[in-house]
A and B are shown apart, each in its own frame.
Chain A
Amino acid sequence: MVEHPAAVHGVPVVDTFAEAFGMRAARVIITAASPRWARQAATTMTGFATSVIACKCEAAIERELLPRLTPDGRPGISVLVFATDSDGLQKRLVERIGQTVLTCPTTACFDGLPDATERMSVGKPLRVFGDGFQASKVVAGRRYWRIPVMEGEFLIQEDFGRVKGIGGGNFLILGETAEAALAAAEAAVEAMAGIAGVILPFPGGIVRSGSKVGAKRYKTMVASTNDAFAPTVRPITSTELEDGVNSVLEIVLDGLDFESIAGAMRVGIMAACRPGVRRITAGNYGGKLGPHHFHLRKILGGDRSPGPVPAAAPSGGTP
């Protein structure tokens, strides 16, 4: 029998779950002459990609890659990109790679999911930037496009793999002060950095403006502030916050599979449970919208298997 802890380092962990959604995911390997330029391209590519609500995709750096792990033996960065559907994912990759990686000095771009059976054409639509001067090479059964540019040549793989991923894993850090909540969130992000198969798409990995679906007052809004967890309106809304909680930050995770997200959440929550944190909880919609449920206490107990859908919603939602 796996023991499911109710607290970590004296910080209570609510018996609730994070509710996440199915997405389509790709892994892009960006290499460059130096780690600096690989990171520059990756950072630019993953800008404005925090939430599918307005950015059309979610993307972030997954981890740094040593030269021996990249297709061309240069320093690299692995980026994960998530979108709600297959067509959207392909379009986002073409747009973002075309505008941010192709344009960045010394870079080359490769597929990071070579075993994926679903393939997307990415280098092929970008090749026409070469205006007829482009050339292709097939190495080990994979086609690469060589696009002549002013600096020299941009190399990109013709097609990229696509897999089913999960978006919207999350947990909330309820702090006594804004400083305490931020320190705990930073510790969580640092602990989760570099875990394979997972990204934290929000700025620095942290969300200060968790949202609920729709809005109470503005009918056209797709999402609006999660007032149940906003401390400044605590007396005038249906709050989830107790006395002593003065700031809440959220960590949102996207991943290639359930196990990766669950493992990262465990590491992050363990790191976030520190002095000044009153409680750890998670956002969901009562289990009615997203098929993937990350039960916090089960995860902390080392159980990474997807659990059954609970009957009721224990806490407020944060898409």
Chain B
Amino acid sequence: MSIKGKAYIMGAYEHPLRDAPDKSTPQLHAECAKGALEDAGLTKDDIDGYFCAGDAPGFGAMSMIDYMGLRNVRHMDSTETGGSSYLLHVGHAAQAIAEGKCSVALVTLAGRPRQNKFFGGGAGKPGQLTDGPPEAGYENIYGGSTHNTYGMCAMRHMYEYGTTSEQLAWIKVAASHHAQYNPNAFLKDVVTVEQVVNSRMISDPLHLLDCCVVTDGGGALIVVSPEVAKTLNRPKVKIMGAGESPKGPMGGRGLDLTHSGAVWSGPIAFGEAGVTPADIKYASIYDSFTITVLMQLEDLGFCEKGQGGKFVADGNLISGVGKLPFNTDGGGLCNNHPTNRGGITKVIEAVRQLRGEAHPKVQVPNCDIALAHGTGGSLGTRHGAATLIMEREA
């Protein structure tokens, strides 16, 4: 396996300006993208892979994808190695193309170091122009937080589908049933639906117990080649499929707070793995809030859109009780959400389940295929979704 001959550079554009007092940095990124697309004879909607470095304005690649309206992206990479980033990006793009993860990759760089009267960042400084994320001035002033932006998602989901706080509460209840067996869990007490809906309101309609924990800590993973795996004396967890997708308001016309990027990342991962939701014995589902779980379960196809409330009720997510055991470590809702980034613990518990090393009280019998899924950023504004499907190899 090699990238040799697997990818071609077919568009290139260098911005003509050397002093750009009248254009924002995001605008320069977009103009460079437009120039390269025109050079290649492609359009914006052909782009399905996007690469930028850590200096691009905003949150990873999310802000620039949303600013430029790149609506078909299924591969993202914001590897940062300073000035060499773009060379790495071409190599990474070739790998992604060789593996079928994208077919038209866009790499952009832009900046305005000569405009030193400007400064970066998203905060306003009275009387001065900034050059931060393009959405910052229009959005950051309204007191948005994870709680109230996810609250907006829950509010809209309830409006469209009749989802109730009691149904959302079942997600926390299931997580707490699992957390009682985890000696390291931040919250180990089993809670009831009544306790969740009677906990104090944080941001409508999300109560305190609809929210994940805030914890220090971390995690790590080792991914190896098949050849190395054979030499190691541990159960083998094979990666079967992976999908990713950004989602944002897209010019204010693509806003739908009742679904997440999982509607795109899920089918890519299932397709690559050659399995369906019915094959999944255990699911790690990102649980920053109860609503996060409910939306993602629907979007991944574990139930029909709008039926998530019924699906999670009555203990259906509790291992040994329901049809889809989830977050058997207690998840972010009860166990751990290290440094407010829960993606890695989702993979770790899926590995435990596939190895048969979860707590005996929550271990799923014959757990041969597992899914881990997460969203980062905010479901209420812009986020990146990722789905991973793994299989235990005998």
Q: Is the pairing of A and B real? A: no
User: Could you list which residues of chain B lie within 8 angstroms of chain A, going by C-beta atoms?
Assistant: none
Q: Residues of A at under 8 Å CB distance from B?
A: none
